Amino acid sequence: MAQDTFAAPGSTTRTRVRRIPEKAVQDRGTLHAILDAGLVAHLAVVEDGQPFVVPVGYARDGERVLIHGSSGSRLFRDLATGTPTCFTVTLLDGLVLARSAFESSMNYRGVMVLGRCVELTGQEKDDALRTISDHLLPGRWDDIRPPSRKELAATCVLALPLDEASVKVSAGGPDDAEEDLFRPTWAGHVPLREVAGDPVPASDNRDPLPDYVLGWRQ
């Protein structure tokens, strides 16, 4: 389905960016790119008036995100019933060093998705687990044992549609107040990036390092 058949990010009352609205992005391609670049999301639910937020691994599958967790998890059991949730991904791109504490900040790309999850079962659940693995550990699925029936029973897989989302991006250097421009203070920004380190074999490893793992460093 074409992207233009879906609502633009930030197009609903609940997802309109109000704080520094010029940083809002309404392009679904950017929404997809941020989700594809991230590995960890935070998922929220309110139970008996108490908010809970947990980190989760995820993957984007077209116009939805896939999330997996324990079928014994109270949070996942609640989400599987369709209780409202908020899903967020934040990528930290740098530190912004302004000449004042107030203007100092961070460069980031962030996504917020509101909606209700649907629990996946059967072949759709199996396919979703592979999609998540391919996103988090590219190339690994064909090299490992697939989940057993017992393991599948212990795993809950949810799908959250990207129907209602917002995207916010902050980039570049500081925006100092005019009166601070002549302060004898260095100003600029420090880029940050996440990189894969050297693989560390298990103590009982007997096999050569796969090429696809070496590719993760790129």
**CATH number for the domain harbouring residue 166:** 2.30.110.10
217 pLDDT tier (thresholds 50, 70, 90): confident
Range of the domain at 64: 20-174+204-215
In residues, how long is the chain? 218
What CA–CA distance (Å, rounded) separates 42 from 208? 35
Residue 154 lies in a domain: yes
Share of the chain above pLDDT 70, in %: 98
pLDDT in tens, 59-97: 999 999 999 999 999 889 999 999 999 999 999 999 999
What CA–CA distance (Å, rounded) separates 171 from 149? 46
Residue 196 lies in a domain: no
Residue 7 lies in a domain: no
Q: How many domains does the chain have?
A: 1
Q: Please, what is the Cα angle at 199 between 193 and 203, to 5 degrees? A: 145
Residue 126 lies in a domain: yes
Range 142-146 contact pairs with CB under 8 angstroms and sequence separation of 24 or more:
143/210, 143/212
| Residue 57 zone, left/alpha/beta (φ > 0; ψ -120 to 50; rest) | beta
Share of the chain above pLDDT 90, in %: 83
Residue 98 lies in a domain: yes
pLDDT of residue 1: 45
pLDDT higher than 90, residue 116? yes
Q: Can you name the residues that pair with 170 across neighbouring β-strands?
A: 108
Q: Which distant-in-sequence residues (6+ apart) come within 8 Å of 173 by Cβ?
A: 96, 187, 188, 189
Residue 15 lies in a domain: no
pLDDT of residue 18: 87
pLDDT of residue 4: 57
pLDDT in tens, 13-28: 898 888 888 888 999 9
Residue 179 lies in a domain: no
Q: Structure pTM?
A: 0.92
Residue 186 lies in a domain: no
Tell me the CB-side half-sphere exposure of residue 62, using CA atoms within 13 A: 8
